[in-house]
Amino acid sequence: MTVDRAVLAFAGIMVLVSAGLTYFYSPLWLLLTAFVGLNLLQSAFTGFCPAARVFKMLGVKPGAAYQ
């Protein structure tokens, strides 16, 4: 798995967790979904993603998008 795929998988998991927490606990958990979406959007334009840096530090192989 590359950093690119790890970031996408992590974002997908966070959106699903947020959806579950919203359904079972409070609509305020939609803020987590908004944060994940905004982070993905800004990383598409800037190339900076905090999650990608963490995955790199954990030793995940670099991909094409986050080097």
Q: State pTM to two decimals.
A: 0.86
Amino acid letter, residue 19: A
Q: 51 and 10 in contact (C-beta within 8 Å)?
A: yes
- Alpha-carbon dihedral of residues 53, 38, 4, 1, nearest 10 degrees? 90
From 6, 14, 9, 13, select the one nearest 33 (Cα to Cα). Answer: 14
Provide the pLDDT confidence category of residue 21 given band limits of 50, 70 and 90: very high
- The predicted-structure confidence for 23-61, as pLDDT tens digits, reads as follows 999 999 999 999 999 999 999 999 899 999 999 999 999
At 36, list the tokens: 């994940």
